[in-house]
């Protein structure tokens, strides 16, 4: 076992509500696991468990792994610590008790792609948030909320955004339910408490009525302000529960022996005390696409070689970038680096709306139904893809395109019904051609191969939309050996001689995947948005940002920067915290890559 610090020992010894704060790697997670085991050992009655709640599934996997590695936690204690995400815990409560707040008895989850489709029209009407004034933004939010409520209460389709509010209503309204929850989970640990939203805080408050609460937080790692995390949240907790407050401070166990945390902390104030920091390296690259990506690929290959040389199999290297767009670009480059560099195998934690909806199109085509409305169904799914792939910010072109496709299909069907040939220039032609090509694909009963065969038919076909779908669907990793979707598709083939239920199986697999907590933490090379890195740890981290595009000497655009446009103006505290979180995810080394002629403003001394 690790030798706990005196502060960690206080946490272990203290009873009642607690607030534990500390910087990255200060040992909050570790001590809370030992605390949970102690409670399991000393206080729980049969059937009771300690609940550990976290925001992200990847954190859940990390916690489960840490529990497994903790030699001082017995297997009985282990089985009495339940680690879950807020989403999944809330969903369990809603499924069983949701009717108490007026939800239909049968409810289902409206997944993010489904929600994006349902809200696309409203979102399009208002345009992107950044172009709205406060009143318009409030109006847009209110309309989105009303539609989400309608979907939940009238149709029983509940989207993730509503979970916390509904559970809060449930618990606030029922002392009996609060008591029942406290019987099942007398102690609840909240990870990353600084990021609790207003509705989640209502849930925490209601639970604290009967349960013992332990909140773990690092105020400086607060990066979810844009979705309602409140800087005063820790004070709310102190005021509501008078918890014992332990500050683990800036102890650093993650990257001991390096200056990674020191550098991370100094990023917050822009006062740099050293010329060189052990564990931190900088790579300044020229501001052009070829040289920037060549520099990145070189850094990735070098880091990978260092990690492979350790002989460990579970090494991890994260490439953290500021925007979604950059994540896609980097992922594309690694998949197909220039020159004779072979593909760099990696996982990209990109937004899944596009890939999921793309996967639905492929699944539908795998069914090879040969039904009379095949074409209609395919066009419908393409339209769903177009409406949903932009997530919370649907593209104007995409929505217009969906409307155009639908009306072209209506005309196509009208002409056929009237005994006429469809117009020669109809946009439906290439879709119909690809559909007919997919029908010729001979399925072999291996879901992986068959999936790829259909995807290749789309990728090689004449329809640009389906080509985009094929490309997006490459990001789907649900068909890996031994996973549920693959097994279910295999079973479907065995039982029916074809993939008759591929679409349903695919949809279900994504919902299950969202709640699955058993997956291991990410290993290998991972490309990730900086915002998503919170709570994670990797052996090495590369932070890679965009560069300015110049015409002559003048900067015309400066996309994908850690600080918007790389300008030192306005409140930069969120950007600083975000940068610090990214830098401090590494155990042994962080490489910061920034353009030579326009170095990240946060790296300049104050
Ligand atoms: N007292 C200790 N002595 C030595 N190592 C420790 C100690 N406490 C924790 N560690 C190790 O340090 C690393 C970081 O700890 P942990 O994950 O608990 O930090 P954390 O505060 O939860 O970090 P973050 O907020 O960044 O997620 C882990 O690998 C853990 O095993």
Give the other-Cβ count within 10 Å of 366's Cβ: 28
Rounded to two decimals, the ipTM of the complex is 0.97
Residue 516 covered by a domain: no
Considering only residues 96 and 605, tell me which one the structure prediction assigns the higher pLDDT: 96
Length of the chain (residues): 606
Do 500 and 547 lie in a common domain?
A: no
Q: How far is the CA of 267 from the centre of ligand 1 (A)?
A: 21
Pairwise CA distance, residues 232 & 118, whole Å = 34
- 598 and 488 in a common domain: no
Per-residue confidence (pLDDT) for residue 515, from 0 to 100: 65
| 387 and 332 both lie in a single domain | no
Give the per-residue pLDDT at 11: 95
Q: How many domains does the chain have?
A: 4
Q: Is residue 170 scored above 90 in pLDDT?
A: yes
In which band, very low, low, confident or very high, does the pLDDT at 226 lie, cut at 50, 70 and 90?
very low
Please indicate, yes or no, if residue 103 is contained in any of the structural domains.
no
The parent domain of residue 589 ranges over: 260-349+522-603
Name the residue among 340, 322, 339 with its Cα closest to residue 600. Answer: 322
Quote the ligand 1 centre to 29 CA distance (angstroms).
Answer: 6
Does residue 446 lie within any of the structural domains?
A: yes
With respect to residue 445, please indicate whether it lies within any of the assigned structural domains: yes
**Last-in-domain residue among 214, 249, 284:** 249
Q: What is the C-alpha separation between 303 and 322, in angstroms, rounded?
A: 20
Q: What percentage of residues in the chain have a pLDDT greater than 70?
A: 95
Q: Kindly report the CA angle at 490 between 487 and 492, in degrees rounded to 5? A: 110
Same-domain status, 483 and 429 = yes
Q: Are residues 11 and 89 in the same domain?
A: yes
Residue 255 has pLDDT above 60, yes or no: yes
C-beta of 27 in contact with ligand 1 (< 6 A): yes
Residue minimizing CA distance to atom 1 of ligand 1: 4
Residue numbers in the known binding site are: 22-29
206 has pLDDT over 80: yes
Which one, of 326, 223, 289, lies nearest residue 545 by Cα? Answer: 326
pLDDT above 70: residue 114: yes
Residues 541 and 463 in one domain: no
Summarize the confidence of residues 277-295 as an average pLDDT: 96
Q: Residues 53, 193: one domain?
A: yes
264 in ligand 1 pocket by Cβ < 6 Å?
no
How high is the pLDDT of residue 85? Answer: 87
Exposure class string for 367-385: b at 16+ Cβ within 10 A, else e: bbbeeeebbebbbbbbbbb
Of all protein residues, whose CA lies closest to atom 8 belonging to ligand 1?
27
Answer yes or no: is the C-beta of 165 below 6 A from any ligand 1 atom: no
Report CA(254)–ligand 1 centroid distance (Å): 6
Do 84 and 131 fall within a single domain?
no
Exposed e or buried b for every residue in 280-294, given b needs 16+ CB within 10 A?
Answer: beebebebeeeebbb
Atom of ligand 1 nearest to the CA of 27: 18
Residue that finishes a domain, picked among 473, 508, 543: 508
**Residue 63, exposed/middle/buried by CB under 10 A (0-12, 13-18, 19+)?**
buried
Residue 557 burial by Cβ neighbours in a 10 Å radius (0-12, 13-18, 19+): exposed
pLDDT at residue 230 is higher than 80: no
pLDDT for the residue numbered 479: 60
Residue 99 lies in a domain: no
Structural domain contains residue 517: no
430 lies in the same domain as 460: yes
369 and 420 inside one domain: yes
Q: How far is CA 284 from the centre of its chain?
A: 29
Segment 407-445, tens digit of pLDDT: 999 999 999 999 999 999 999 999 999 999 999 999 999
Considering the domain architecture, whether residues 181 and 316 belong to the same structural domain is answered as: no
Give nearest CA residue, ligand 1 atom 14. 25
Per the listing, tokens 């009237």 go with 418
Give the number of C-alpha atoms closer than 13 A to the C-alpha of residue 484, restricted to the C-beta side.
Answer: 14
Residue at 168 is within a domain:
yes
Is residue 228 over pLDDT 60?
Answer: no
- 425 token code pair: 């220039």
CA 355, 361, 366, 367 torsion: positive or negative? positive
264 and 375 within one domain = no
| pLDDT band (50, 70, 90) for residue 76 | confident
Q: Which residues are annotated as a binding site for ATP?
A: 22-29
Could you tell which of 253, 256, 585 is best to mutate to test the pocket of ligand 1, judged by most ligand atoms within 8 Å of the CB? 253
Is 7 touching ligand 1 by the criterion CB < 6 Å? no
Q: Tell me whether residue 98 is in a domain.
A: no
Of the residues 508, 537, 552, the one at which a domain ends:
508
CATH (domain of 34) = 3.40.50.300
Distance from C-alpha of 427 to C-alpha of 134, rounded to nearest angstrom: 40
């Amino acid at each position: 076992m690790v030798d706990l610090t005196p502060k960690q020992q206080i946490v272990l010894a203290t009873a009642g509500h607690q607030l534990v704060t500390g910087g990255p790697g200060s040992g909050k997670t570790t001590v809370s696991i030992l605390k949970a085991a102690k409670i399991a050992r000393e206080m729980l009655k049969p059937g009771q468990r300690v609940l550990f709640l976290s925001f992200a599934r990847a954190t859940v996997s990390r916690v489960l792994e840490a529990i497994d590695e903790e030699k001082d936690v017995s297997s009985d204690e282990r089985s009495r610590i339940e680690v879950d995400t807020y989403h999944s815990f809330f969903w369990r409560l809603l499924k069983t008790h949701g009717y108490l707040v007026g939800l239909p008895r049968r409810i289902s989850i409206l997944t993010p792609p489904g929600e994006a489709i349902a809200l696309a029209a409203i979102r399009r009407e208002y345009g992107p948030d950044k172009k709205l004034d406060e009143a318009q933004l409030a109006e847009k939010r209110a309309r989105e909320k009303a539609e989400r409520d309608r979907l939940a209460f009238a149709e029983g389709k509940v989207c993730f955004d509503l979970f916390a509010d509904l559970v809060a209503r449930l618990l606030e309204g029922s002392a009996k339910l609060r008591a029942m929850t406290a019987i099942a989970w007398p102690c609840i640990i909240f990870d990353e408490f600084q990021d609790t939203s207003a509705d989640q805080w209502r849930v925490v408050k209601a639970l604290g009525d009967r349960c013992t609460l332990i909140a773990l937080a690092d105020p400086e790692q607060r990066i979810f302000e844009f979705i309602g995390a409140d800087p005063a949240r820790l004070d709310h907790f102190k005021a509501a529960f008078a918890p014992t407050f332990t500050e683990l401070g800036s102890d650093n166990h993650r990257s001991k022996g390096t200056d990674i945390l020191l550098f991370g902390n100094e990023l917050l104030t822009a006062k740099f005390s050293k010329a060189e920091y052990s564990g931190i390296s900088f790579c300044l690259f020229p501001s052009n696409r070829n040289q920037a990506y060549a520099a990145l690929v070189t850094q990735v290959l070098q880091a990978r070689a260092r990690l492979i040389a350790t002989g460990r199999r579970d090494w991890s290297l994260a490439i953290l970038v500021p925007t979604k767009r950059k994540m896609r670009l980097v992922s594309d480059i690694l998949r197909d680096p220039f020159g004779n560099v072979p593909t760099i195998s990696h996982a990209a934690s990109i937004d899944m709306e596009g890939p999921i909806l793309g996967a639905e199109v492929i699944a539908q085509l795998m069914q090879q139904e040969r039904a009379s409305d095949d074409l209609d169904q395919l066009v419908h799914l393409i339209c769903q893809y177009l409406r949903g792939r932009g997530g919370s910010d649907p593209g104007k072109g995409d929505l217009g395109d969906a409307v155009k496709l639908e009306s072209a299909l209506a005309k196509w069907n009208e002409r056929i019904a009237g005994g006429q040939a469809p117009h020669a220039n109809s946009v439906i032609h290439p879709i119909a051609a690809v559909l007919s090509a997919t029908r010729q694909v001979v399925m072999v009963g291996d879901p992986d191969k068959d999936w790829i065969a259909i995807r290749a038919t789309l990728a090689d076909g004449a329809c640009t939309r389906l080509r985009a779908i094929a490309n997006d669907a490459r990001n789907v990793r649900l068909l890996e050996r031994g996973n549920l979707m693959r097994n279910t598709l295999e079973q479907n083939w065995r039982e029916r001689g074809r993939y008759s239920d591929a679409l349903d199986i695919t949809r279900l697999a994504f919902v299950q995947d969202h709640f699955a907590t058993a997956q291991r933490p990410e290993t290998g090379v991972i490309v990730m948005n900086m915002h998503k890195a919170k709570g994670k740890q990797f052996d090495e981290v590369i932070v890679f940002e965009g560069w300015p595009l110049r015409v002559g000497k003048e900067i015309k655009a400066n996309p994908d920067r850690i600080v918007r446009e790389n300008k030192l103006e306005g409140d930069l505290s969120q950007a600083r915290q975000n940068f610090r979180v990214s830098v401090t995810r590494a155990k042994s080394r962080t490489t910061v890559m920034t353009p030579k002629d326009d170095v990240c403003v946060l790296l300049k001394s104050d």
